[in-house]
Structure 1
Amino acid sequence: MPRARRRATRSASTRGRARWAYTRINTAVALLEHLASLDLTLPEATQLEIERWLAAGPSTRYEVRDFLVWTARHGHSDDLLVPHRGKAEPEGIDEETHWDLLQQCLHDEDLPLDVRAAGSLLLLFGQHLTHIITLTTGHPPQPLATLLTRLVDQQPRQGWSGNTPSTWLFPGTRPGTHRSASSLARALTGHGIPIRASRVTALVQLAEEMPPAVLAPLLGLHVITALQWRRRAATDWTAYLQARQRGLGDR
């Protein structure tokens, strides 16, 4: 909760952050209920009992780690160890498909303008949809300025939207609000733009071309996150070269 409060002072809370907090709180409650069913209190819990509980349930149980670190630090339990939950490496799309989609977003007049604009931001800069929907008319970067300017000029001007000043690039259905990430996600996927894979490929390609110290402030990433993408890019490039060498050797 202190961590969530600190984040809330820096920026508005999001659904993802709320879910993050709920998951950890509910996991801590589930562990305490499990111990109570065994007539055990938290100070009586052993490392073996914690490991059995972790192994018997879903991987979300590993989110109890923060809680047990806190209880040990404040003397409410022994020093019980919970490893970090492993994360699968996110998959991207192949480079040819990535650039085909980007060209489609930039030039295909048959696509809705909002899909073209959001898709270009996703495919070029690897931005989260939660960031894209908060962009304003003061943000358009080159080479997207022309496309985004058209998006602003073609926003509907009837009803409340015609009488309500708004600087959102992607305005919502309620006055003064931006569009929801879920609505934009449905529009993108409905036109064949895979969100997660597109973002992964864009970030890997950017990380290949610039150092983390440049990439982080450019995209609003933490420098450690930018460093992780740099390492991912190096790994992917090495794997590509090895595959090419094997292919040439088979000829």
Structure 2
Amino acid sequence: MDELPPSRNQRYIRQLLVHTGILEERHEDLERIPGWLEHELADEPAAHANLARPFLHWFLLRRARQRAAIRRHPASVDRDLRRRVSVALDFLAWTDERGLALADLAQEHIDDWIAGATSQRRYLIRYFLKWTTSRRLTRELTVPSIPRQEPQNLLDEDNRWPLLQRCLTDEALPTDVRAAGAITLLFGPSTERLCHLTPEHLKLGDKDTHLVLGRHPVLLPPRLAELLRRLVEQPQLRPQLSRVHAGPRWLFPGMVPGKPISTHGMTQKLNRHGIPVRTARNAALAGLAADLPSPILADVTGMHRHTALRWVAYARRDWAEYLAARAEDDAEKREKGIAGHDGASQFRRSAAEGTSKA
């Protein structure tokens, strides 16, 4: 099966065989990469193929398997690995066009490669050059760090809270969309973490319900808690095949047997129902980072502590300035008799009302 051309049908059939115990479980995102590479190398020069194979097998895949073995929330790494190999193949074609051998590469050539980029994709050549340097195929070369970007788009607070209220109250929306949208708008978890939630992540008490996204559980508004209870209790709509080894029961199951919905599928589903995932997540994290110290933000959301530090630094600077500017603008409107309201105050007031009503 691995020798077949990569396709959705091939992946589905293989997982079906794994689910029913005919084939052994494996980290499919990683193990399907070698088959993809062989199809990519079909039209590549032999010299490029002889570099790409060990680069993938002995460098990229080896490290990825080590990380996958210890990660609590496995990431879909296949796209990242494919990009790094594709960039390496593009770079080898670029050196051929200029008549450059790997041993002759100098820092000025790497600078030219980066300078000719129309996106940040070419910075990924750092992984290939790290491997070639370790194999003494190239001299020590430096690839500059990818320029750090601040969050570009955040959902406006005046839109964020009504959208959250819609998730909590609109019975016309599917239950899974309402639950996933509300979690995203409130806590901003990564889509990967959201898709891998199971009933075990819910801590049900007599009065309160908590959700575990990071090291410590977070208290849920009663209405969201009820949504998640319904999600746990509702029957699976898709046919369920028996499996030899019991696996997790996902809150958001996917079309592939035994697997949660993919991150791409979740993003598309929420976007179709008017919930912009990226901007909603950015707004939730900015709001949390404005109120929480970075260690608590990391513990509650499950993000890395360095990422939490960057979010807090961003929120204390840009988000606070944004809210202050909005308040000043609305104050001017009120003075002039123009209808308006303070977005930040409205959000806090609505949050308190919505929680008590829920």
Q: Same fold (TM over 0.5)?
A: yes
Asked which structure has the greater RCO (Cα within 8 Å, sep 6+), the reply is 2
Relative to structure 2, which stretch is displaced further, 199-208 or 35-44? 35-44
- State the partner residue of 1:65: 126
Query: Which has the higher Rg, Structure 1 or Structure 2?
Result: 2
Unaligned stretches of 5+ in structure 1? none
Matched, 1:111 2:173: yes
Counterpart in 2 of 1:234? 316
Structure 2 partner of 1:77: 138
Matches of 1:169 and 1:117 in 2, distance apart? Answer: 10
Aligned runs of 1:139-218 on 2, under 5 Å?
Answer: 139-140=201-202, 141=211, 142-143=220-221, 144-156=224-236, 159-160=239-240, 167-218=249-300
The TM-score with structure 1 as length reference comes to 0.86
Cα 1:131/1:110, change in 2 over 3 Å: same
One-letter code of the match for 1:160?
A: Q
In the TM superposition, residue 176 of structure 1 has moved relative to its aligned partner by 2.8
Aligned 1:119-134 pairs, distance under 5 A: 119-134=181-196
Percent identity between the aligned chains? 39
**What is the CA deviation profile of residues 27-72 of structure 1, one whole-angstrom value per residue up to 9, with x for unaligned ones?**
2232223223333211211222222222224331111123324434
Partner of 2:68: 8
Mapped partners of 1:134, 1:203: distance in 2: 19
* 8 Å CA contact 2:196, 2:250 repeated in 1: yes
Aligned 8 A contact 2:295 2:305 in 1:
yes
Do 1:156 and 1:162's aligned partners in 2 also have CA atoms closer than 8 Å? no
Specify every segment of 5 or more residues in structure 2 that has no aligned partner in the other structure, as ranges. Answer: 1-59, 203-210, 212-219, 336-358
1:160 Cα deviation (Å)?
2.8
Question: Alignment partner for residue 155 of structure 2, among 93, 106, 125?
Answer: 93
Deviation at 1:246, TM superposition (A): 7.3
- Call closer, same or farther: CA 1:112–1:37 in 2, change over 3 Å: same
State the partner residue of 2:215: none
TM-score w.r.t. structure 2 length? 0.62
From the superposition, tell whether residues 224 and 160 of structure 1 become closer, same or farther in structure 2 (CA, over 3 Å): same
